[in-house]
Amino acid sequence: MHTTISSTETGEVVFNHNGDFSGDVRIVTDAGELWVPFGALKELVATYVRAKAIRKLERATDDAVLGL
């Protein structure tokens, strides 16, 4: 298991996960512990990134969209 620690405004969040990000992720906060399938976390983050990219593209100029 690998450990990733994130500091937030409300405290520390600890993620215990497989090195290849397979299987479940153990998330530990002051409020307790939760096991979440990595695929669910990946889907959540991909949805966030997709929405952010769409907003950026919608505001972009034609040249920026084309990489010019």
The predicted pLDDT at position 9 comes to 85
Cβ neighbours of residue 10 under 8 Å, at least 6 residues apart? 30
pLDDT in tens, 25-40: 999 999 999 999 999 9
Residues 3-15 have a mean pLDDT of: 92
Query: Smallest Cα–Cα separation from 11: which of 33, 36, 28?
Result: 28
| Domain coordinates in residue numbering, the chain | 2-65
pLDDT in tens, 11-68: 899 999 999 999 999 999 999 999 999 999 999 999 999 999 999 999 999 999 999 9
The predicted pLDDT at position 10 comes to 81
